[in-house]
Amino acid sequence: MKFLDLAKVHIRSGGGGSGCVSFRREKFVEFGGPNGGDGGNGGSVWAEAVDNLNTLIDFRYQQHFFAKSGQAGMGSQRTGKTGEDIVLKVPTGTEILDEDQETLIADLTEPGQRVLLAKGGNGGWGNVHFKTATNQAPRRANPGQEGVERTLWLRLKLIADAGLLGLPNAGKSTFLAATSNARPKIADYPFTTLVPNLGVVGVDGREFVIADIPGLIEGASEGRGLGDLFLGHVERCAVLLHLVDATSESVVEDWRTILAELAAYSPELARKPRITALNKIDALDADTLAERRAALAAAIRADDDGPLLEMSGVTGAGVTEVLRALQARIAPPQAAPAEQEPWQP
């Protein structure tokens, strides 16, 4: 299944049915008069979040969604049939934006959450409603209310507890594959990850979800590489794990590159709690590792950017400590309740 996190849709609710102009004329039946029924209401367009979808690919092949219009009223005060609603099934975590792609209409973050996108038009009144003492035979009825037509954007932001950041080939996919059942593509060239991946990891009997996004490079905010289009998928995360490749000769510059791209994308995202991990420590000798760790630790302390950990996604060294640090930021352990003194009568 292809991954798609942005889609444009055109929707229209159904119009209301027209009211009916009708009269009761039956031989030997008294109290005749107007008996035109009301028109039926038009169908509405809804959006509903479901938990068995993780892409908007269905909206690439169908962009137009038109609800049914209501049926016109009939004689004998019969109301027209109401038009059927249309429900757009979207993945949990989908934002619905107006045509300008800036005005947020709804943010569906819980499975089963629904939002009305376009209300169906009301049906028109039949002539029975216009009967008065001075107008016993009204020959007028209301037309149905027209439906609402809109153009909307659907933008998916994956629901995850922690997000992975780093330059291409920093080891993000290897870390996700080593700690979860996710099977992202892993290779020895940059940009092997082309779409976000989710994995459920566990540590100390507790589980949480990690999101891996394509690597960032300098100038991603200006569209270089794969750009920063996928950074939206880590906006909902409680904590970010920044992986720095220990085999790089410029670990401090690599670390600063990611921070600069975060700040260019969103100052709010740049202020989100982060944990920095020096990855691929198994590929270095002790002296080189100590030198690069000291340089990166000094930069992190100067920037007050949280703790610095060491790990290797290949050998598993330090992975448990990294997972525990993430878990502590996601759901800090609660202190055990103090023992109360036994009650004395």
Residue 264 annotated as binding? Answer: no
Q: Is residue 126 marked as binding?
A: no
Q: Are 164 and 178 in contact (CB under 8 A)?
A: no
213 is in an annotated binding site: yes
The DSSP bridge partners found for residue 164 are 212, 241
Does 212 carry a binding-site annotation?
yes
* Rg, C-alpha atoms of the chain: 30
Cβ proximity of 8 and 63 under 8 Å: yes
Q: Checking DSSP bridges between strand 33-34 and strand 308-310, what pairing results, if any?
A: unpaired
CA gap 42, 14 in Å, rounded:
4
Ligand-binding annotation for 131, yes or no, is no
Please state, in angstroms and rounded to a whole number, the distance separating the CA atoms of residues 251 and 255: 6
Residue 194, marked binder? yes
**214 in a known ligand binding site:** yes
Annotated binding-site residue? 279: yes
Reduced to 3 states (helix: H, G, I; strand: E, B; else coil), residue 206 is strand
- Kind plus residue range of the DSSP H or E element containing 320: helix 319-330
Q: Of 94, 85, 41, whose CA–CA distance to 67 is shortest?
A: 85
Is 314 flagged in the annotation as binding? Answer: yes
Residue 41, Cβ density class (10 Å: 0-12 exposed, 13-18 middle, ≥19 buried): buried
Contact status, residue 322 vs residue 277, Cβ threshold 8 Å: yes
DSSP 170: S
User: 169 among the known binding-site residues?
Assistant: yes
* CA-based nearest residue to 79, from 128, 30, 44: 128
Residue 105, annotated ligand binder?
no
Q: Is 215 annotated as a binding residue?
A: yes
| 91 marked as binding residue | no
- Is 43 marked within a binding site? no
Residue 27 annotated as binding site: no
| 57 annotated as belonging to a binding site for a ligand | no
151 is in an annotated binding site: no
User: Residue 76 annotated as binding?
Assistant: no
Question: Is there a binding annotation on residue 195?
Answer: yes
* Sequence ranges of the binding site for Mg(2+): 173, 193
* Sequence ranges of the binding site for GTP: 166-173, 191-195, 212-215, 279-282, 312-314
* Sequence ranges of the binding site: 166-173, 191-195, 212-215, 279-282, 312-314
